[in-house]
Amino acid sequence: MSARKSSEASACSSSEVSVKEFLAKAKEDFLKKWENPAQNNAGLEDFERKKTLGTGSFGRVMLVKHKATEQYYAMKILDKQKDNSNLYMVMEYVPGGEMFSHLRRIGRFSEPHARFYAAQIVLTFEYLHSLDLIYRDLKPENLLIDHQGYIQVTDFGFAKRVKGRTWTLCGTPEYLAPEIILSKGYNKAVDWWALGVLIYEMAAGYPPFFADQPIQIYEKIVSGKVRFPSHFSSDLKDLLRNLLQVDLTKRFGNLKNGVSDIKTHKWFATTDWIAIYQRKVEAPFIPKFRGSGDTSNFDDYEEEDIRVSITEKCAKEFCEF
């Protein structure tokens, strides 16, 4: 072996060790928080509601301002119509808006642009899976772009700790893995399938499997037949064939080498994984906004009053939530 190859192999081995050490420490920290959940230390009256950022079947997300600190946050208001009270979750506010909005505005991302975002998702899943967490809801709507142009994964409503298999049917139709649709039971590999769908959608401007009705989408997914736009590079097509792989014994991320098969693929050859993690790579796009409370990167929604009951029927059930 040449001195150069020996040096490269040594550096690669050292990097793998440092990643393993980082993930082990991260898991230790996560388990401490998991076993000792944070206690609620704020009330609805502590926040000034500013503007609706998004709506869905769950309820809505609003920009709020903490009165004491004047800090801005995103408040998710879960509509609980079966009883008489809402559930409120206060999270960091990311002013850059959803990837979905920017993707629809631009049409499609260049491959380097898509690769920058995809690399962050790979690292995210590597971390989550080391904690035995399956995310299960990857899509452009759940990826926010921060002030540095990096993405933040949001909405962990479908995330679940699973060491083996699980059977729950959940997720967005276009992003469901075939094993979820077929009710065969599934594992973390469904997230790697979803990564393939996301990369395809970022680079094409539309998902690989789409139709008017969910049942038609499911039929296309289960068939495993994917057609690529002519502008896709050969390396991108090869990566997607290995991620959008119906056969679990062949799907990247689910094989003996785990995430390494993805991180060492030719399409990611120019990716400096450590630099991505350290946020040292210049983002291809930085959203414009005027200040910490700016909402110009979000769509406008009709505002509604929040109805709060005098008494809470489920206070005991959610006391530690």
- Active site includes 146? no
Report in angstroms the alpha-carbon separations of 147 from 197, 294, 313: 26, 11, 40
76 is in an annotated binding site: yes
- In the set 137, 155, 191, 261, the catalytic residue is 137
- Measure the CA–CA gap between 157 and 137, rounded to whole angstroms: 8
Burial class of residue 212 in the structure, from the number of CB atoms within 10 Å of its CB (0-12 exposed, 13-18 middle, 19+ buried): exposed
SS3 string of the chain?
CCHHHHHHHHHHHHHHHHHHHHHHHHHHHHHHHHHCCCCCCCCHHHEEEEEEEEEECCEEEEEEEECCCCCEEEEEEECCCCCCCCEEEEEECCCCCEHHHHHHHHCCCCHHHHHHHHHHHHHHHHHHHHCCEECCCCCHHHEEECCCCCEEECCCCCCEECCCCECCCCCCHHHCCHHHHCCCCECCHHHHHHHHHHHHHHHHCCCCCCCCCHHHHHHHHHHCCCCCCCCCCHHHHHHHHHHCCCCCCCCCCCCCCCCHHHHCCHHHCCCCHHHHHCCCCCCCCCCCCCCCCCCCCCCCCCCCCCCCCCCCCCCCCCCCC
Tokens read off for 239: 């990566």
- Measure the CA–CA gap between 161 and 133, rounded to whole angstroms: 4
Question: Which residues fall in the annotated binding site?
Answer: 76
Q: Which residues are catalytic?
A: 137
Question: Which residues fall in the annotated binding site for ATP?
Answer: 76
